[in-house]
Amino acid sequence: MTKYQHQKRVLVAIDCIIFGFDGADLKLLLIKRGFEPEKGKWSLMGGFVKATENFEQAASRILKQLTGLEGLYMEQLLAFGDPGRDPMERTVSIAYFSLIDILQYEKQISHEYHAEWFSLHEIPRLIFDHQDMVELAREKLRYKAAFHPILFELLPQKFTLPQLQHLYEEVYNTRFDKRNFSRKILSTELLVKQKDKEKENSKKGAYYYKLNKKKYKIHFHEILNIIPNPGNLH
C-alpha cells in the first residue's frame, strides 16, 4: 500500500480545560507556557498526541503530568483547527475538559509547571484560541449540568447540600431557593444522607451527603431537571 499522496500532515495537540471548585469559587487551572512561541504566557495545559496514543490516553497523560491525578472526569469538547491558530505551524487541537475537586488536587499537585488556579471572573489573556476554548467549555458545563449530575465531580466524597447549592449557584451565576433546590436534588435519589455534620460554616452544622455511586453511574445519562428555567443554554 502506498500512502495518501499530496496531502499535508499537521501536528495534533490536546488542550485541557480544567475546572476546579474549592468550596467557594469555580476556578480554572492555567500554566505558564514553557516554550516558544508565547513562552511565559498563560495557557491551558496541553501537549502533542504521541504516535501510539489515542486522544483519551493523551489527555489523561497530560492531565496526570499537571495534576498528578488519574481517573478524573474528562470529556472531549471540540476540535479546534483554524489554519492560523498556532502561528508557528498549523496545529489541530482537540480540547478536553475536566472537573476536579481542588482540595483533593492540592495534595497531589506537581509544581513543575507553575500551575495556578484562576477564578473564572479573573482569567488572564490566554494564548492562541484558548480563550475561545474556555468560553465554550463554560457553556458546555452549564448545559450539561442542567441535565446531568456532573457537578458532583467537582466536590469531595462528602459534601453538604449548602455546598452543593453554592456550586450550582457559581456555575449558573444566580441564586436558587434552597427549599426547591433540595427538593429537586433529593428527588433524584442519588444522594445518601450521612450521620455526621460539617460544622465549619455554621453553628448548627449541615449534614454530609455522599453520592450513591451505583445509581450515579446507572442514571448519569438520564435527563434530570435541576435548573429552573434553563432558558438560553447552548
Residues in touch with a second copy (CB under 8 A): 1, 3-4, 7-12, 36-37, 48-55, 76, 78-79, 81-83, 87-92, 94, 146, 221-223, 230-234
Nearer to DNA, 55 or 207 (CB): 207
CB of 2 to a second copy, least distance (A): 8
d(CA 95, CA 76) in angstroms, rounded, equals 6
50 binds, among DNA, a second copy, none (CB under 5 to 8 A by kind): a second copy
CB of 192 to DNA, least distance (A): 13
Contact 11, 58 (CB under 8 A): no
Nearer to a second copy, 82 or 112 (CB): 82
DSSP letter string, 184-231: HHHHTT-EEEEEEEE-SS-SS-EEEEEE-HHHHHHHTTS----SSS--
Nearer to DNA, 114 or 199 (CB): 199
Nearer to a second copy, 67 or 91 (CB): 91
When asked if residue 232 is in the footprint of DNA (CB under 7 A), the reply is no
DSSP letter string, 45-76: EEEEPPTT--HHHHHHHHHHHHH---S-EEEE
When asked if residue 179 is in the footprint of DNA (CB under 7 A), the reply is yes
Helix H or strand E encompassing 130: helix 130-147
Residue located via cell numbers 442542567: 146
d(CA 185, CA 194) in angstroms, rounded, equals 15
Listed ranges 20-28, 47-55, 118-126, 202-210: which one lies at the site for DNA (CB under 7 A): 202-210
Contact 28, 19 (CB under 8 A): yes
Nearer to a second copy, 36 or 196 (CB): 36
Helix H or strand E encompassing 136: helix 130-147
Listed ranges 29-37, 55-63, 81-89, 195-203: which one lies at the site for DNA (CB under 7 A): 195-203
Total residues belonging to the chain:
234
CB of 94 to a second copy, least distance (A): 5
For the segment 113-172, give every residue that binds DNA (CB under 7 A): 160-162
CB of 112 to a second copy, least distance (A): 20
Residue located via cell numbers 448545559: 143
Binding site for DNA (CB under 7 A): 160-162, 177-180, 182-184, 187, 197, 199, 201-207, 225, 228-229
